[in-house]
Structure 1
Amino acid sequence: MFQIVPFHQYQILTAHQGDEVEVPLKALVDQLGLAWHPQLERIKRHPVLSKGIRVTRIPSQGGMQETVALSLEMLPGFLTTIQSERIKDPIVRERVTLFQEEAFHALFVHFFGGRRGTPAALASGATNELLKLTDRLKHEWHPEIKAMLHALLGQMCDRMNLPLPRIEAFGQPAPDDLEIADGFFAGLIDLKRAGVDFDHHRRADLLAISLPQIDRLFTAASIDAPRGAPLRRALRQHPAFIEASAVNGRDTRIRRCWIFDRSKLPELESA
């Protein structure tokens, strides 16, 4: 498994091999602005860093390829042993110093508190991923997808030594509401495939629909889709729902519309 960890304006690629995390070295050295082969030879000569050398496979434009990696536990040592004072380019020297400051902090955390081999920058990235996944779980309706996301969250919690909340803690819509909303959006998809334009919002990332108009379109197209008060209740609970308000449409008419986030409606994502 691979993970991109953000660090300031940089992206650090990590590879997870069982319980070990490895950092592909050439990509990191290139980001630092250092020459690759001298750094590799320095690591090979080092009595401690050389023990952390690994060979891993990473994705590339030509497919999976082998590359030299360093155990994550050795990463702070690699960074702190770079002689930044000998770097002539001030931009590269500043960049290396930035990474070294984080590496020294990681060593402090290791010896005086915190989990083994978890640099602060990587921990911060993992925390961000954890929060994103937790938010996705809260807004996911479909039981199968929710169960899959919960399993992924379990893997992350294991790596971070955190307790895993029960899936019920993330909420679940009433089965009737789920079925009603799915039936309604399936009807909209049928209209879209038939070439019927029902979106009134001027922004491409939002969907604005007039329920009375949709009702007439469903009738004209002989689409059997949910309607009425149960539908309005279900739509308000849907994660894509934003608000119901007046919209100045593309035809300059003002209508009361129900507005949804297209990104949360995969088959209606594009206009």
Structure 2
Amino acid sequence: MQPQLMPVPFYEDTVVLVGQGNKPYVAMKPIVTNMGLDWHSQLTKINERFQTTKVEITSVAEDGKLRPMTCLPLRKLPAWLYSISPNKVKTELRDKIIRYQEECDDALWDYRTKGCASRPGTTSVEF
């Protein structure tokens, strides 16, 4: 069965989720290249830091051929984004990465000090 692709809004952008086994995954190469980062360096990081959770999902590419995609579970995307140095992304994306990382700081702080973290206006992703 072909994986389900689902575009979702994410910080004024769109991220394509890949549904497999009723779990949402994120194809990492489009995100990495859109940020202006080196794919091979980030793939090495993904293979080292997310070895137990990354998966290869085969999907039909724009050229109509089946291609494997290195994917992370959606729940791991924040950890990867948090690991990115804002100075290494495209200039126009730096403020967005910094804002996201500061939000992660706040969420972690609230979780550790208040026992929960929330963000108004959030929606859950279901497959």
Q: Normalized against structure 1, the TM-score is what? A: 0.37
CA distance in 2, matches of 1:61, 1:9: 23
Q: What is the CA–CA distance in structure 2 between the aligned matches of 1:68 and 1:14, rounded to whole Å? A: 12
CA distance in 1, matches of 2:43, 2:75: 17
1:37 aligns with 2:20: no
How far 1:13 sits from its partner (Å)? 0.5
**Whole-Å separation in 2 of the counterparts to 1:106 and 1:5:** 21
Contact 2:5/2:19 (<8 A) preserved: yes
2:98 paired with 1:94:
no
Q: Which runs of 4+ in 1 moved over 6 A?
A: none
Q: Which has the higher contact order (CA 8 A, sep 6+)?
A: 2
Counterpart code for 1:57: T
Deviations 1:50-71 (A, max 9, x none): 2221101233222232110111
Secondary structure of the equivalent of 1:97? helix
Paired position in structure 1 for 2:56: 55
CA distance in 2, matches of 1:53, 1:12: 17
**DSSP 3-state at the match of 1:52:** coil
- 2:10 is matched by which residue type in structure 1? F
5+ residue gaps, structure 2, are none
CA contact (8 A) 1:3 1:13 kept: yes
The structure whose residues are more often helix, as a share, is 1
Deviations 1:90-148 (A, max 9, x none): 32422432443455566567x6156xxxxx6xx5485xxxxxxxxxxxxxxxxxxxxxx
Instruction: Report which stretch shifted further, 92-101 or 58-67.
Output: 92-101
Check the 8 A contact 2:35/2:90 in 1, yes or no.
no
Please name the residue that 2:7 is paired with. 4
Structure-2 separation of matches of 1:74 and 1:18: 17
- 1:112 aligns with 116
> What percentage of residue pairs aligned between the two structures are identical?
24
Whether the 8 Å CA contact 1:58–1:65 is kept in 2: the answer is yes
> Cα–Cα, structure 1 residues 60 and 102, in superposed 2: closer, same or farther, change >3 Å?
farther
Rounded to whole Å, the distance in 2 between the matches of 1:89 and 1:43 is 20
1:37 Cα offset (Å): 1.1
How many residues in Structure 1 have an aligned counterpart in Structure 2? 117
Q: For residue 82 of structure 1, report the CA deviation from its aligned partner.
A: 1.5
Cα gap change, 1:44 to 1:7, in 2 (>3 Å): same
Q: Taking structure 1 as reference, are residues 105 and 73 closer, same or farther at Cα in structure 2, changes over 3 Å only?
A: farther
CA shift digits 1:194-242 (9 cap, x unpaired): xxxxxxxxxxxxxxxxxxxxxxxxxxxxxxxxxxxxxxxxxxxxxxxxx
Distance 2:90 2:117 in 1: 35
Q: TM-score, normalised by structure 2?
A: 0.71
- Trace 1:71-90 onto structure 2 (pairs within 5 A): 71-84=73-86, 86-87=87-88, 90=91
Gaps of 5+ in 1: 115-119, 127-155, 160-271
Tell me which protein shows more strand as a share of its residues.
Answer: 2
Contact 1:53–1:69 (CA under 8 A) maintained in structure 2: yes
